[in-house]
Amino acid sequence: MKRTKIANALASKELGETITVKGWVRTKRENKNVAFLAVNDGSTIHNIQVVVDVPNFDEEMLKSVTTGAGISVTGTLSPSLGQGQAVEIQATEIVVYGTADPETYPLQKKGHSLEFLRSIAHLRPRTNTFGAVFRVRHAMAYAIHKYFNDKGFAYLHTPVITASDAEGAGAMFQVTTLPLDNPPRREDGTINYEEDFFGKTTNLTVSGQLEGELAAMALSEIYTFGPTFRAENSNTPRHLAEFWMIEPEMAFFDITDNMDLAEDFLKYCVRYALEHCGDDLKFLNDMFDKELIERLKFILNNDFQRLTYTEAIAVLEASGKKWEFPVSWGVDLQAEHERYLVEEHYKKPVILIDYPKEIKAFYMKQNDDGKTVRAMDVLFPRIGEIIGGSQREENYDKLVARMQQVGIKEEDMWWYLDTRRFGSVPHSGFGLGFERLVLFVTGMANIRDVIPFPRTPMNAEF
């Protein structure tokens, strides 16, 4: 018989119909005459209640239907007398696909800590919490593609393996097929990468931006959405070694256009979650974060505060706060500073622009003051930096001068510099950390809990 998804069964008005649902048993309560199974198939946070007339079923089979078992149930969709659901299934047939030994199945009824669930990341999607988080994650990925598609952006696939260090940050995973115990060497003893797979050193990408810029110089508006890798040893609730990034790049956009797009885009994603993930957000709100839904609505109803780095430093200096990392013009802002601006001072999202050039990447457009660049960071409550971007330096001579200052070789970047030689135009873009968005929208506290299989220092299990 055709399977009905549990989300559809729960919403169905066709009482008296015979339907088949398939899923995993969450709980079982029973006495001599009747058993109640709560079954979930991941299509919704809600379980469907299955009522089993015990005398009508094989005893051994029923015994094997325990928490975690995978089953198929056929029966009559009926109004439910129990509270919490409108309908239930009066079972006529049960098929057990796979049992789950109660002695060893780790997800028993009692609540488990998020730390424990991280150690069984292969099973945690079967919990209410991770079912909700991964459905919201999916909805956000879909919303992002829809947003850019509706605006006429082209989805551009940028390489995962690359020879360039887009951010100049240096924290990269090397990609090689050379034997590490005995690599080929030149006469001076250094490793000869000409014999490596690509004939040169390569790494996993830290950003698709530079290639994105090449395409924006032809298609006008593109975005990337793919995995990026950073080998920085930061063990924090907001850093992953492998994370997904969305990077729009737009020809003919200046920094104000860039800010407008970033704000509109973030609000669209939050609105999409509120409109399409109501049940999951309500669960997460009630379980983990009583202010979640209020906070999401607040984002929609407020203009983001826009100010320069220099103005932000003045606010931080005037705050009278004792900082762990002292503040003065020129320092990179730390999470404590970003969160003060957003959560205590302005009490809304903040967009900071015009950072000192020394703390930003080489490609950002240089301001006339000679000290700052047209960078743009969007700071969110609880998250800190959710977006980093800039207007790009489109002037060939200025760009080369900056590359020389920071020690990036022109010959390695000839293809990037070509865009500034042939038909160079003003352009801008930014990168949204996908997991930071999901973190914000779900109200979870740790970035390891919004990606199915987190990659962090000393951890690549699953």
243 binds, among Mg ion, ligand 4AD, none (CB under 5 to 8 A by kind): ligand 4AD
Residues 41/70, Cβ–Cβ less than 8 Å: no
Q: Least distance in Å: CB of 253 to ligand 4AD?
A: 12
230 binds, among ligand 4AD, Mg ion, none (CB under 5 to 8 A by kind): ligand 4AD
340 binds, among ligand 4AD, Mg ion, none (CB under 5 to 8 A by kind): none
Residue 61 vs 406, nearer CB to ligand 4AD:
406
Distance CA 9, CA 46 (A): 11
Distance CA 181, CA 257 (A): 51
Window contacting Mg ion (CB under 5 A); options: 136-144, 250-258, 281-289, 382-390 = 382-390
Q: Least distance in Å: CB of 232 to Mg ion?
A: 12
Instruction: State whether the Cα torsion 449-453-454-459 is positive or negative.
Output: positive
Token representation of residue 17: 């119909």
Q: Least distance in Å: CB of 335 to ligand 4AD?
A: 12
- Which residue of this chain has its Cβ atom nearest to Mg ion in the complex? 388
Q: Is 431 in the site for Mg ion (CB under 5 A)?
A: no
Residue 24 vs 268, nearer CB to ligand 4AD:
268
Q: Least distance in Å: CB of 279 to ligand 4AD?
A: 27
Q: Least distance in Å: CB of 390 to ligand 4AD?
A: 6
List for the chain the helix, strand, coil content (%; round to 5): 35, 25, 40
- Pick from 208, 248, 384, 388 the residue near Mg ion by CB under 5 A: 388
Window contacting Mg ion (CB under 5 A); options: 32-40, 176-184, 384-392, 415-423 = 384-392
State the residues that interact with ligand 4AD by CB under 6 A.
166-167, 207, 209, 230, 239-240, 243, 245, 247, 385-390, 429-431, 433, 435-436
419 binds, among ligand 4AD, Mg ion, none (CB under 5 to 8 A by kind): none
Distance CA 298, CA 44 (A): 26
131 binds, among Mg ion, ligand 4AD, none (CB under 5 to 8 A by kind): none
> 386: closest CA among 246, 221, 274?
246
Window contacting Mg ion (CB under 5 A); options: 146-154, 284-292, 351-359, 383-391 = 383-391
Residues 277/431, Cβ–Cβ less than 8 Å: no
Residue 131 vs 388, nearer CB to Mg ion:
388
Neighbours of 76 (CB within 10 A): 15
The helix/strand count (H/E) of the chain reads as 13, 16
DSSP class of residue 394? -
Name which of residues 330 to 349 contact Mg ion (CB under 5 A): none
Residue 148 vs 355, nearer CB to Mg ion:
355
Token representation of residue 169: 């940050």
The CA–CA distances, whole Å, from 50 to 15, 54, 222, 327, 345 equal 14, 12, 49, 61, 52
The Cα angle at residue 397 between residues 395 and 399, in degrees rounded to 5: 65
Residue 139 vs 241, nearer CB to Mg ion:
241
Distance CA 102, CA 25 (A): 12
> 214: closest CA among 413, 452, 433, 356?
413
Q: Least distance in Å: CB of 291 to ligand 4AD?
A: 22
Q: Least distance in Å: CB of 237 to Mg ion?
A: 17
Distance CA 59, CA 36 (A): 15
Q: Which helix (H) or strand (E) holds 21?
A: strand 18-30
Site residues, Mg ion (CB under 5 A) = 388
